[in-house]
Chain A
């Protein structure tokens, strides 16, 4: 699985990076690398079953009181 992921990422990088380097688009390359690194980090973490903080949880906690209040008012449940 890790191997497969690596192959895919290498393929993706091989496809795009040379063009960026050739065109001397360093800013683009920086943004690309930063985002790609984030994506790779997340995917390897998922595959290796490392716990990563889930943004969904935070949002859930943030909005839960509001949601319960509104639905309680509207439906009485």
Chain B
């Protein structure tokens, strides 16, 4: 009985299917333009503000080194991707205008990075985040970056080790953890930073250096960060300051911190490698004054000692190195703090949130004027405890005789 009903209903369904319309949400995989990276810029065209949507689309036939592609005699020298830009009054319109330039439907689900142009960032990134959040095919794990300069040139830069630039960038973002001068930030985090009144947004920065200059290598560079206030870009952090911020927000994974040589002041620096770092932020109110205590715990190892004969296993040397290390870290943190408090007046550290959690009533009074009044004058005590655990494969530093 049920069986017969199923069969009849399937017939009915098929009739409806064929009668109502063709194929609805169906899209054949080969008719998709698989976008791997997106750049959004704000440009002026004929005096009008327009969004420029740049997409990097992979060409699967050239990328998939399979037989099917090879058999049909691929050119070989062609780039395996296409970068194309379109204009529109809104981002979505610009995205849709893409259809006027290419033969395939835009498919954004596999977008790995979204690069925001500097000009757009200064005007406000709310449209971009809104676009990403509302559109159902974007991943929430898409990485966000701010380009120094326009975003489209970043995507047009030649790919490095990977075949597609966007993939290159997204892998770089992950890889950069080993230096801790930049950090991966996914859309979800950016959105929650933006929505919180007690913390301001900060996005990693990407720089495209087309020409070499004074010994600086060319290519894409991933370091530093863009500081926002509300959703508007207010300035940049240098790589060191970025790490300073990362210490406080527990984002440091690894990296190299150079410290002076104990007992031998000079140009030479000992490298220490960060192996573990944690931090805690505790707000407290003493005598009606709000004080934030930041405590950073770091563990590291010695990487290279350019001081012949120095014995890193000697307790005094270790103690001194640890002191220097703590000082170096403290300096980075303070640099970041100073930038944020004095120059940008933007609470990128999320101190406001900690106050909110610990003193909800106090926070209620401060919330409105936090960034302008309270945060810049906030007393932040930074305590760093650094310890060196390992010295590597050798004992005393190599001494040529």
Q: Which A residues form the contact surface with B (CB < 8 A)?
A: 4, 7-8, 11, 15
Contacts and interface: CB of A to CB of B under 8 A. Distances in A.
Contact of B8 (A4, A7, A11): A11
A19 to B, nearest CB: 10
B63 interface: no
10 contacts: A4-B15, A4-B16, A4-B19, A4-B20, A8-B12, A8-B16, A11-B8, A11-B12, A15-B5, A15-B8
B306 to A, nearest CB: 65
**A-B CB proximity, top 6 nearest:** A4-B19, A8-B12, A11-B12, A15-B8, A11-B8, A4-B16
Contacts of A8: 12, 16
Interface string B1-25: 0000100100010011001100000
A55 B392 CA distance: 78
Given A7-B15, A15-B5, 9 more contacts: A4-B15, A4-B16, A4-B19, A4-B20, A8-B12, A8-B16, A11-B8, A11-B12, A15-B8
A4 B13 CA distance: 11
A11 B13 CA distance: 12
Contacts of A11: 8, 12
Nearest to B16: A4
A7 B13 CA distance: 12
A45 B16 CA distance: 19
Contacts of B5: 15
Nearest to B19: A4
Interface residues of B, number: 7
A15 to B, nearest CB: 7
B10 to A, nearest CB: 12
Interface in B294-310: none
A4 B12 CA distance: 10
Interface string B194-234: 00000000000000000000000000000000000000000
Contacts of B20: 4
Contacts of B8: 11, 15
A76 B188 CA distance: 30
Contacts of A4: 15-16, 19-20
Contacts of A15: 5, 8
A13 to B, nearest CB: 12
A40 B8 CA distance: 19
A8 B12 CA distance: 7
A7 B20 CA distance: 14
A31 B12 CA distance: 25
Nearest to A7: B15
B19 to A, nearest CB: 6
Interface string B172-203: 00000000000000000000000000000000
Contacts of B12: 8, 11
B7 to A, nearest CB: 11
